[in-house]
Amino acid sequence: MPSVRYVSRGLIDGSLSILGVVLGAAVGGDVKVIIAAGLGGGIANCLSNVFGALTAERAAIMADLKKTEEDLVGSDVRLKDTKIYTNQKNRILQGGALDGLFTFIGSTVPIAPFLLVGRLVDLETAILLSVAVTLLLLFVLGVYLGKLSKENILISGSKLALFGLITAIIASSLEFFFR
């Protein structure tokens, strides 16, 4: 299930990195800056993950294909002319696209509460909601991954949520250095 890997990695990466960005930007207290920093970081992270996944996966798969070609002793077969190569190439493209897409989706989660500032919530509430919805996303994702891997779903969900909480604490502690 390679797609689960890219989806979960993208959601985790996008939500945690942008949670850090928005909490760091929240020190300034300007909602527009928080949203712009979050979106800018989310887009950059998305593109970085697309290119990173494409590059890393391509290198790994091409190395495997070359090794397979070498193992075909006495053969002039080049796998680049086969369905094996085409399937692997499609897998690389799908992986990169999924990784980038879900990185961006994950990055929108911590940003969303700040869109409500001035309408339904104040800045402090948006900060708390940002942390809460990100932790909820991570917990639910952890439960899903725990179910897939046949592990204890509460432990799996709690582990991911704990990583989110640690990220939030570290990012929030920046405020003390910039007062």
Phi-psi region of 71 (alpha: psi -120 to 50; beta: other; left: phi over 0): alpha
CA-CA distance, 139 to 33, in Å (whole number)? Answer: 28
| Domain span at 83 | 2-177
CA-CA distance, 129 to 150, in Å (whole number)? Answer: 31
**Model pLDDT, residue 27:** 87
Half-sphere exposure of 162 (CA within 13 A, CB side): 7
pLDDT per residue, tens digit, the chain (179 aa), is 668 988 999 999 999 999 999 999 998 899 999 999 999 999 999 999 999 988 988 888 888 888 877 777 666 667 777 788 888 888 889 988 999 999 999 999 999 999 999 999 999 999 999 999 999 999 999 999 999 999 999 999 999 999 999 999 999 887 777 76
CA-CA distance, 31 to 178, in Å (whole number)? Answer: 18
Number of domains in the chain: 1
> Can you give the pTM of this predicted structure?
0.85
